[in-house]
């Protein structure tokens, strides 16, 4: 019997296409790391290409003579497109999985980059941003579902690996924009379309792996991961609490990612290149926070991780508007690391709260995050035009205080244990 078990484990380790599958459809032979790494790599490319848009705001502002409101509308065009479509994509793929939709969606990003490289009007810039948003809308919910399927039950780790690719790409994007696009001009953006093509090839292979997986029933998903005893009204309330946490996290993060370079230039009079490097450092810190957040959440639990990530960032956000250039860089690193570590915990908590609807939940939360970021960027642009970016950073520094609503969330591990005893 022992030999049989050992042989089965050896086969699963050697052949990622043949993991043991439990009732919930999750591999019981351990995480399928080749798939997780492929998804993380494609997430890196996807978010790298997305991050080019805000990184190029100083150039676009100069070339198209834009005010802060118009800059915010570019972010809104990208992020609202993504936010509106992602829940729809997630819900549809919960019912009708589309293994090759990942590669097809990346094609929209490719088209958006080519349009942006040739854009001669502000309206074309908005259209190109929307096309990139469509690519994100297709990519995120379905890739999150595949990551959970390949997790081997280590959901926090899988989401962290998936997310760290995106955060790393977001960090590299501004740096490449400073090194490649800014010296050569807008047309150099077209070179990044090769990344979209590479991602399409990798995602086609991931889709092939996904197409071979057994399809779990929705009932099986509920049995495998369900939280018994929560009425529908209670679940809806808890989802709204999680959304409030996302609001505090993403609107503040948007204030950094969308306007940080302009803030540094306006307040400290540094060069565009130096401001881009500072944005890279902040984005790199978010990548580190995402990488460590999932595994720590698996060990400590989702609730402690949410407390640490959001409320723990409050002292640093309050100090940021008063800091000198050196301490602004240090504080932005700490804030980025803390806030980024919250998302894997929030997403996995929500997926456990509403089992069997992985795509819908991923679409809702990724979409809500994008929508909040876009809306926040547009509103902050209006406020900055009326006052200043420095005032915006004072105003948004209080947002992490909303993390106190974490006290309203129950411990799902205890709920499962009580349900099992009952």
For residues 81 and 31, which has the higher predicted lDDT (pLDDT)? Answer: 81
The Cα–Cα gap between 402 and 231 comes to 25
What sign results for the dihedral spanned by CA atoms 162, 262, 251, 311? positive
What is the rounded average pLDDT of the residues 103-113? 92
Kindly report, residue by residue over 300-350, the tens digit of the pLDDT. Answer: 888 888 999 999 999 999 999 999 999 999 999 999 999 988 888 888 888
**Does residue 398 carry a pLDDT above 80?**
yes
**Does residue 418 carry a pLDDT above 70?**
no
DSSP 8-state code for residue 407 = G
Q: Domain limits of the chain?
A: 31-421
Using an 8 Å Cβ cutoff, are 363 and 327 in contact?
no
Ranges of H-type helices in 15-121: 33-55, 57-64, 68-95, 101-118
For residues 49 and 1, which has the higher predicted lDDT (pLDDT)? Answer: 49
Which pLDDT value is given to residue 317? 94
Which pLDDT value is given to residue 415? 62
What sign results for the dihedral spanned by CA atoms 280, 285, 291, 293? negative
Using an 8 Å Cβ cutoff, are 64 and 122 in contact?
yes
Which pLDDT value is given to residue 241? 92
Integer angstrom CA distances of residue 343 from 158, 164, 365, 372, 392: 12, 11, 9, 14, 24
Residue whose token pair is 């460590």: 292
- Quick one: the chain helix, strand, coil %, rounded to 5? 85, 0, 15
The Cα–Cα gap between 284 and 415 comes to 36
Instruction: Select from 299, 287, 310 the least CA-distant residue to 241.
Output: 310
Q: What is the architecture of the domain spanning 31-421?
A: Up-down Bundle (1.20)
Using an 8 Å Cβ cutoff, are 370 and 133 in contact?
yes
**Does residue 154 carry a pLDDT above 90?**
no
What is the rounded average pLDDT of the residues 378-405? 89
Using an 8 Å Cβ cutoff, are 209 and 35 in contact?
yes
Using an 8 Å Cβ cutoff, are 114 and 190 in contact?
yes
Assigned token pair, 233: 């009204």
Dihedral of CA atoms 350, 353, 355, 357 in degrees, nearest 10, equals -40
Residue whose token pair is 């057994």: 214
Where is 281: in which H helix or E strand?
helix 272-300
For residues 65 and 30, which has the higher predicted lDDT (pLDDT)? Answer: 65
**Does residue 175 carry a pLDDT above 60?**
yes
Question: What pTM value is reported for the model?
Answer: 0.66
DSSP 8-state code for residue 225 = H
Kindly report, residue by residue over 61-94, the tens digit of the pLDDT. Answer: 888 988 888 888 887 888 777 777 777 777 787 7
Instruction: Select from 291, 340, 285 the least CA-distant residue to 312.
Output: 340
What sign results for the dihedral spanned by CA atoms 269, 271, 273, 277? negative
């Amino acid at each position: 019997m022992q030999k049989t078990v050992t042989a089965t484990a050896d086969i699963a380790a050697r052949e990622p296409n043949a993991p043991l599958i439990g009732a919930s459809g999750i591999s019981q032979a351990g995480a399928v790391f080749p798939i997780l790494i492929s998804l993380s790599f494609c997430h890196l490319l996807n978010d790298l290409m997305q991050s080019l848009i805000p990184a190029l705001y100083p150039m676009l502002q100069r070339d198209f003579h834009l005010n802060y409101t118009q800059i915010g509308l570019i972010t809104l065009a990208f992020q609202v497109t993504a936010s509106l479509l992602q829940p729809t994509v997630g819900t549809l793929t919960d019912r009708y999985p589309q293994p090759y939709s990942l590669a097809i969606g990346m094609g929209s990003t490719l088209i958006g980059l080519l349009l942006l490289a040739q854009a001669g009007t502000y309206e074309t810039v908005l259209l190109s941003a929307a096309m990139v948003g469509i690519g994100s809308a297709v990519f995120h919910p379905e890739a999150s579902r595949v990551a959970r399927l390949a997790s081997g039950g280590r959901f926090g780790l899988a989401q962290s690996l998936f997310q760290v690719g995106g955060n790393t790409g977001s960090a590299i994007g501004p740096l490449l924009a400073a090194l490649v696009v800014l010296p050569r001009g807008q047309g150099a953006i077209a070179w990044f379309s090769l990344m979209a093509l590479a991602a399409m090839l990798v995602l086609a292979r991931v889709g092939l792996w996904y197409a071979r997986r057994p399809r779990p029933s929705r009932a099986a998903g509920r049995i495998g991961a369900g939280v018994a005893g929560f009425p529908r009204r209670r679940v809806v309330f808890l989802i709204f609490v999680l959304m409030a946490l996302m609001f505090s996290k993403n609107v503040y993060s948007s204030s950094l990612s969308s306007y940080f370079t302009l803030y540094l230039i306006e307040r400290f009079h540094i060069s565009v290149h130096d401001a881009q490097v500072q944005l890279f450092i902040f984005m790199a810190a978010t990548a580190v926070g995402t990488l460590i957040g999932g595994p720590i959440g698996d060990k400590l639990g989702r609730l402690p991780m949410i407390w640490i990530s959001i409320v723990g960032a409050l002292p640093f956000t309050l100090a940021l508007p008063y800091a000198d250039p050196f301490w602004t860089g240090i504080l932005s690193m700490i804030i980025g690391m803390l806030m980024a570590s919250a998302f894997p915990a929030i997403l996995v908590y929500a997926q456990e709260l509403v089992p069997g609807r992985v795509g819908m939940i991923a679409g809702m939360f990724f979409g809500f995050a994008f929508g909040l970021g876009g809306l926040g960027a547009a509103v902050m642009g209006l406020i900055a035009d009326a006052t200043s970016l420095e005032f915006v950073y004072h105003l948004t520094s209080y947002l992490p205080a909303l993390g106190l609503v974490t006290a309203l969330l129950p411990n799902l591990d205890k709920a499962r244990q009580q349900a099992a005893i009952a």
